[in-house]
Structure 1
Amino acid sequence: MSSDTSFYRFLALGSHIALLVWVIVWHFFLTAQSDYSSLFIFVMYVLPLLLPLPGIVRGKPYTHAWANFVILLYIIHGITVAYAVPVERGFALVELVLASLMFCGCSVYARKRGRELGTGLKKLKTVMQEERERFEKR
């Protein structure tokens, strides 16, 4: 693995763990009164971050790619809370920064590592040429 690829791997891993810790601290310790139960908060905010964690720790490019769909929830949540709840705007901005760093790290790592492993998608031009050659052989 190239040093550039490993940088994005550690960016994704570090920001993922930091986001997980931040979400737990924010929703369980920093918020004075919550209208939701602890189980609901765990299921909605903590559990989605735990699902891709094993694959991200192992450095699997596919997991990094689909983890971006999970991270979009935290980006949307951060933007919404920053806009709608002025008291928690600072907390939401921290969430937004960590989620954005993870999104960038996961995206670039999945692309670079996929290319290194040869598992990337082929360009349409190449696929069309292969199909044309296969069709002409018949």
Structure 2
Amino acid sequence: MSKSRLFHWGAVLSLVVLILLCLAWELWLAPLRPGGSWLVIKSVLLLLPLMGILRERIYTYQWSSMFILAYFAEGVMRGWADSGLAQSLAQAEAVLTVIYFCCVVLFVRERRRQLQP
């Protein structure tokens, strides 16, 4: 398996897991309000880059590397401010965003390296 394929699947997997984590977190595991909260919309926003990532579109990789930083910031802040299960979920969110960011940046770098003569 080439490096770019490895980074591609790392980005796909971390993004899908992040979507599922955010859904479970805000609907069942530790919502801000009993019965779920409107923060579940953050999961829907993560669907925006999914198709472009699956199709290996460089432009999607580039803009999503900046887009994901908002989720990193949320994970760090809620990991610091929340307690219990919500804190653990926030820390998991921060870790997944770092994995995603690294895979995206390395994928773009590797793909550009492959395209250079």
TM-score by length of 2: 0.87
| Mapped partners of 1:77, 1:63: distance in 2 | 21
Q: Which residue pairs with 2:75 in the alignment?
A: 78
What is the rounded CA distance, in whole Å, between the counterparts of 2:23 and 2:70 in structure 1?
16
Higher Rg: 1
Q: Which residue of 2 aligns with 1:110?
A: 108
Question: In the alignment, which residue of structure 2 is the partner of 1:63?
Answer: 60
2:20 is aligned to 21
Q: 1:92 to 1:106 in 2, by over 3 A?
A: same
Q: What per-residue deviation string (whole Å, max 9, x for no partner) do you get for residues 92-121 of structure 1?
A: 111111111001001110121133234xxx
Structure 2 stretches of 5 or more lacking a match? none
- Paired AA for residue 110 in structure 1: V
Q: TM-score, normalised by structure 1?
A: 0.75
Identity of aligned residues (%): 29
Could you tell me whether the CA contact under 8 Å between 2:27 and 2:40 is conserved in 1?
no
Give unpaired runs (5+ residues) of structure 1: 119-138
Distance 1:113 1:73 in 2: 25
CA distance in 2, matches of 1:55, 1:9: 11
The 1:41–1:117 alpha-carbon spacing in structure 2 relative to 1, beyond 3 Å, is same
Q: CA deviation at 1:33?
A: 4.8
Q: 1:48 to 1:114 in 2, by over 3 A?
A: farther
Q: How many residues align?
A: 115
Asked whether the equivalents of residues 62 and 110 of structure 1 are also in contact (C-alpha less than 8 Å), the reply is no
Q: Which stretch shows the higher mean deviation, 105-114 or 26-35?
A: 26-35
Alpha-carbon RMSD across the aligned residues, in angstroms, is 2.0
CA–CA distance in structure 1, aligned partners of residues 10 and 109 of structure 2: 14
Whether the 8 Å contact between 1:78 and 1:95 is mirrored in structure 2 is: yes
1:75–1:99 Cα contact (<8 Å) kept: yes
